[in-house]
Amino acid sequence: MSSKTIQIIGSLNIDLVTRTPRHPNPGETLTATSFTYGPGGKGANQAVACARLSRSKNQQQQHAPTSSSSSSNLNSNSTITIKMTGAVGSDFFGTYLLDSLKSNSVDTISISQTPDTKTGTAVIIVEESSGENRILITAGANGSVSPESIKPSLESLPNLIILQLEIPLSTVVSIIELAKAKCVDVLLNPAPAVPNLPRDVYKGLKHLIMNESEAAILSSSLGSEAPTSDEKREMGKGDVVRATDPNDNMQDLCTRFHTLGVTNVIVTLGAKGVYYSSSENGGSGHVPAAKVETVVDTTAAGDTFVGAYAVAVVGGGGAGGGKGESERLEGGKVEEAVRWANRAAAKTVEREGSMGSIPWGDEVG
Q: Is 252 a catalytic residue?
A: no
Q: Which of 99, 245, 303, 362 is catalytic?
A: 303
Residues 308/314, Cβ–Cβ less than 8 Å: no
Residues in CB range of 168: below 8 A, 6 or more apart: 143, 145, 146
Pairing assessment for the beta strands 13-20 and 34-40 based on DSSP bridges: antiparallel
- Across the chain, the runs of DSSP E, i.e. the strands, are 4-9, 13-20, 34-40, 80-89, 107-114, 120-127, 133-138, 160-163, 185-188, 207-211, 264-268, 274-278, 284-287
Asked if omega into 168 is within 30° of 0 (cis), the reply is no
C-alpha pair distances (Å), 299 with each of 85, 93, 106: 22, 20, 21
State how far the Cα of 324 lies from the Cα of 327, in Å rounded to an integer. Answer: 8
Task: Provide the edge-to-edge strand list for the sheet that holds 133-138.
Answer: 34-40, 13-20, 120-127, 133-138
Q: How far apart are the two ends of the chain, measured CA to CA in Å?
A: 23
Helices (H), 193-326: 212-220, 229-234, 248-259, 301-314
State how far the Cα of 229 lies from the Cα of 248, in Å rounded to an integer. Answer: 22
Q: Angle 321-72-75 (CA atoms, 0-180°, nearest 5)?
A: 25
Q: Please provide residue 145's backbone torsions phi and psi, each rounded to the nearest 5 degrees.
A: -75, 115
State the catalytic residues: 303
